[in-house]
Structure 1
Amino acid sequence: MKGKLPKGSKLASHIHGPEQKRTLFRRATMIACCSLAITIGSVYADNKMSDFETVYHIYIDGEMIGTVNDKDVVEEIIEQKIAEAKKTYDSYELSADDALEFIPEKVFNPQYNNNKAIEQLSSKLSVAADATAIVVDGKAVAYVKTKKDAEKAIESLKLQYVPEDLLAEVDENKEKKDDPLKNGESIILDVRLSEKVSFESKKAKPDDILSVKEAVSLLNKGTLTPKKHEIEEGDVLGSIANQYDLKLDQLLSLNNDLAEDTVLQIGDTVNVQAYEPVTDVIMEKKARKEIKVDYEIEVIETDDMYKGDTKVKQEGQKGKKSIEYLLVKENGQVIDKEILEEDVTQEPVAKVVYKGTKVIPSRGTGSFIWPTYGGSITSVMGYRWGRIHKGLDIAGVSNRGIKAADNGTVEFAAYDGTYGNKVIINHNNGTKTLYAHMSEIKVSVGQTVPKGTVIGIMGSTGNSTGVHLHFEVIKNGKNIDPQTYY
Structure 2
Amino acid sequence: MVKDKATADAVLQGIKDYYVNMSPGELVKIEVSNSVKLVEKFVNPDEIITAEAAKNLILKGTLELATYKVKQGDTLWTIAKEQNMPLDDLIKANPQLKSENKLALGEVINLKSIKPLLDVTVTKKVTYQEPLAFETQVVKDDTMWKWDQKVKQPGENGTKEVAAQVVYKNGIKVGQEVLSEKVLKEPVTRIVARGTRAEVAFRGSGRFLWPSVGKITSPFGRRGREFHTGIDVAADRGTPIRASNSGTVTFAGRKGSYGNLVIINHGGGFETYYAHASSILVSVGDKVEKGQQIATVGTTGRTTGPHVHFEVRLNGNPQNPLSYLNK
TM-score (norm 1): 0.39
Larger Rg: 1
User: Do the aligned residues in 1 keep the contact of 2:153 with 2:192 (CA within 8 Å)?
Assistant: yes
Query: How many residues are paired up?
Result: 261
Corresponding residue for residue 199 of structure 1: 37
How far did 1:384 drift? 8.7
Q: Structure 2 unaligned segments of length 5 or more: list them.
A: 63-85, 90-113
**RMSD between superposed Cα atoms in Å:** 5.5
Instruction: Quote the offset at 1:485 in angstroms.
Output: 7.5
**Which residue does 1:333 correspond to in 2?**
173
Alignment-derived partner of residue 297 in structure 1: 136
- Which of the numbers 31, 56, 59 marks the counterpart of 1:216? 59
Amino acid of the residue matched to residue 195 of structure 1? S
Q: CA deviation at 1:475?
A: 7.5
Query: Aligned partners of 2:137, 2:165: CA distance in 1, in Å?
Result: 34
Q: Provide closer, same or farther for how the CA distance between residues 432 and 286 of structure 1 changes in structure 2, counting only shifts above 3 A.
A: same
With over 3 angstroms needed to count, the CA separation of the structure-2 counterparts of 1:200 and 1:370, relative to structure 1, is closer
Counterpart pick for 1:483 among 308, 320, 324: 320
Decide whether the 8 Å contact of 1:298 with 1:353 is kept in 2.
yes
1:97-125 Cα shifts (integer Å, max 9, x gaps): xxxxxxxxxxxxxxxxxxxxxxxxxxxxx
SS in structure 2 opposite 1:424? strand
Kept after mapping to 2: 8 A contact 1:189/1:284: yes
What is the CA deviation profile of residues 243-295 of structure 1, one whole-angstrom value per residue up to 9, with x for unaligned ones? xx9xxxxxxxxxxxxxxxxxxxxxxxxxxxxx997754333334444444333
1:188 & 1:416 partners in 2: Cα distance?
77
| AA partner of residue 455 (structure 1) | Q
1:188 is displaced (CA, Å) by: 3.7
CA deviation digits over 1:436-482, x for unaligned, max 9?
466897766544345xx102288543547766422245788x8x645
Aligned to 1:342: 182
Structure 1 residue corresponding to 2:21, chosen from 134, 147, 162: 162
- Contact 1:419–1:462 (8 Å) recurs in 2: no
Partner of 1:271: none
User: How far is the alpha carbon of 1:335 from its aligned partner?
Assistant: 1.0
Instruction: State the alpha-carbon separation in 1 of the partners of residues 182 and 285 from structure 2.
Output: 50
After superposition, the Cα gap between the structure-2 partners of 1:303 and 1:204, relative to the gap in structure 1 and judged at 3 Å, is farther
Q: Quote the offset at 1:411 in angstroms.
A: 4.0
* Bigger share in helix: 1
* AA at the equivalent of 2:175: I
Distance 1:156 1:418 in 2: 87
Q: Which runs of 5+ in 1 are unaligned?
A: 1-130, 132-143, 167-185, 220-241, 246-274
1:317 aligns with 2:156: yes
Q: Deviations over 1:414-446 (max 9, x none)?
A: 899997986431345666423246689776654
Aligned partners of 2:258 and 2:119: how far apart in 1?
Answer: 71
Distance of 1:155 and 1:335 partners within structure 2 = 24
State whether residues 381 and 481 of structure 1, in contact with CA within 8 Å, keep that contact through their aligned partners in structure 2.
no
User: How far apart are the structure 2 equivalents of 1:193 and 1:341?
Assistant: 27
1:313 to 1:447, Cα distance in 2 relative to 1, 3 A: farther
Q: CA distance change for structure 1 residues 373 and 422 in 2, over 3 Å: closer, same or farther?
A: closer
Which structure is higher in RCO with an 8 Å CA cutoff and minimum separation 6? 2
What is the 5 A alignment of 1:98-247? Answer: 147=5, 148=7, 152=11, 155-156=14-15, 159=18, 162-163=21-22, 187-190=25-28, 192-193=30-31, 195-201=33-39, 212=54, 213-218=56-61
Q: Could you tell me which amino acid in structure 1 is paired with residue 36 of structure 2?
A: S
Q: TM-score, normalised by structure 2?
A: 0.53
Structure 1 residue aligned with 2:243:
404
Identity of aligned residues (%): 31
Q: Find the counterpart in structure 2 of residue 351 from structure 1.
A: 190
2:244–2:291 contact (8 Å) kept in structure 1: no
Q: Is the 8 A contact 2:279 2:298 kept in 1?
A: no
Q: 1:161 to 1:380 in 2, by over 3 A?
A: farther
Amino acid at match of 1:162: N
CA distance 1:281–1:427, shift in 2 (3 Å)? same
Q: Distance in 1 between matches of 2:15 and 2:258?
A: 75
Q: 1:441 to 1:289 in 2, by over 3 A?
A: farther
Distance in 1 separating the partners of 2:196 and 2:310: 31
The alpha-carbon deviation at position 189 of structure 1 amounts to: 1.2
1:454 aligned partner, one-letter code: G
Is residue 293 of structure 2 the alignment partner of residue 434 of structure 1? Answer: no
SS of the residue corresponding to residue 283 of structure 1 reads: strand
SS at match of 2:33: coil
SS in 2 for 1:216: helix
1:70-108 CA distance string (max 9 Å, x none): xxxxxxxxxxxxxxxxxxxxxxxxxxxxxxxxxxxxxxx
